[in-house]
Amino acid sequence: MTAPRLLLLAPTQSYRTDDFLAAAARLGVPVVVGTDRCHRIEETFGEEQGLWSLDYRKPEHAAEQIAAAARQEPIAGIVPVNETTAVIAALAAERLGLPWNPPDAALRAADKAAQRTRLAEAGLPVPAFRAFRLDGDPEAAAASVTYPCVLKPVVLSASRGVIRADDPAGFVAAWRRIERILREARTERRAAGAEAARTVLVEAFVPGAEVAVEGLLRGGAFELLALFDKPDPLDGPYFEETLYVTPSRHPAPLQREIARLTGEACRALGLREGPVHAELRLPPAGPVILEVAARSIGGLCARTLRFGAGISLEELLVCHALRLPLASLQRERRAAGVMMIPIPRAGILHGVGGLDEAKAVPGVEDVVVTAQEGREVAPLPEGDCYFGFIFARGEAPAEVEAALRAAHARLRIDIRAPLPMV
């Protein structure tokens, strides 16, 4: 028997694995990485890193695999990295007797329609919505909804396939485009099952500024870790996320209301432990909840956050999962932000120039390009990967925002049409 370890549940292609492993190393915590495809990740981490190959397509089965493996190598806590693994973590934690989210709460949070229904039942503000099956008639559906609306497949994430429609013609075009996107998204379709893969949600378009909430649940109590403004308008037709800047510049009472609603939403969903990432819109009548997820912020965006004496979000989450003492949940006093670098067009990435100039902008801490040269990239609604990230820190949010924009303006992104096949 070895010492109890942390189980990190990461998809093979996760951007976050390195940051979580670094956090565990700083804390001196032994880690097992659970993943759905072993061979690739083995090359990255070497054989000394514990690795469990799990069947992510069947969450119940993956949880059984974890429970069986944990009988040989005890697990003291689980950190899931994304939505899929959040459900597996809940199922596995129940089997291992670890305090975590109840599986039905994790499932409810991961299902866009079930989540909306539950939040609406609890009297919380969510967009009006209806679910349609993609094998139905789009013209009939288009005639039955109000405009503007937003169409979104239930099985995708990161704004993939999310499209605004202003009239029936736009609705039918969006519908067809989502069908095409889903046809390509084989992995997601398989993971979600046939019924979900054929479902599209149609929601009332909620206008106004958008914010992102990063929080932590401990024993059912919600604590706000950071509130991010998204200073670029997200009015569609596609919803590419760019800037995240914290602290928020919205009035303090509105910020408190956003945190309160997020906590209420977690309670309504039944979530109790671990990270929460939520998105809300701020129309004049008051905040509307777009999404509450039982995971932490995506991509490399967590690198903007530091707590207490400088610990990372990943360290905080590892400590929480292992029930180690948490010194402070107080974010640093300075402002911080990230730009998720927009993908200007579809094609083959030939290179990115101006990286040194961008990094030299005062306040900019790092520029990381995650897209690979020689590979195809595509903007939303089709795109399924982050291009890269610019990180900045400063005294005030406006300064951070300006630094991120200035750095972005210095990048020369070279994307070219693929050569025709011969």
Choose among Ca ion, ligand ADP, none what residue 320 binds, the Cβ cut-off being 5 to 8 Å by kind. none
Other C-beta atoms lying within 10 Å of the C-beta of residue 83: 19
Residue for token pair 């670094």: 22
Measured distance between the N- and C-terminal CA atoms of the chain, rounded to whole angstroms: 58
For ligand ADP, the closer CB: 67 or 113: 113
Task: Give residues with Cβ within 8 angstroms of 234, minimum separation 6.
Answer: 210, 241
Strand partners for 229: 211, 245
For ligand ADP, the closer CB: 108 or 281: 281
For Ca ion, the closer CB: 240 or 376: 240
Minimum Å distance from CB 209 to Ca ion? 15
Residues making contact with ligand ADP (CB under 6 A): 127, 150, 152, 156-160, 162, 203-206, 210, 234, 239, 279, 281, 290-291
Choose among Ca ion, ligand ADP, none what residue 210 binds, the Cβ cut-off being 5 to 8 Å by kind. ligand ADP
Minimum Å distance from CB 209 to ligand ADP? 10
Strand locations in 271-332 (E): 274-282, 288-293, 306-307, 311-312
Choose among Ca ion, ligand ADP, none what residue 203 binds, the Cβ cut-off being 5 to 8 Å by kind. ligand ADP
Minimum Å distance from CB 323 to Ca ion? 29
Whether omega before 138 lies within 30 degrees of 0, making that bond cis, reads no
Distances (CA, A) of 217 to 77, 97, 199, 220: 15, 18, 30, 6
For ligand ADP, the closer CB: 147 or 205: 205
For ligand ADP, the closer CB: 19 or 188: 188
Using CB atoms, what's the residue nearest to ligand ADP? 239
Minimum Å distance from CB 65 to Ca ion? 29
Other C-beta atoms lying within 10 Å of the C-beta of residue 90: 29
Report the alpha-carbon distance of residue 330 to residue 252 in Å, rounded.
17
Minimum Å distance from CB 298 to ligand ADP? 9
Minimum Å distance from CB 224 to ligand ADP? 19
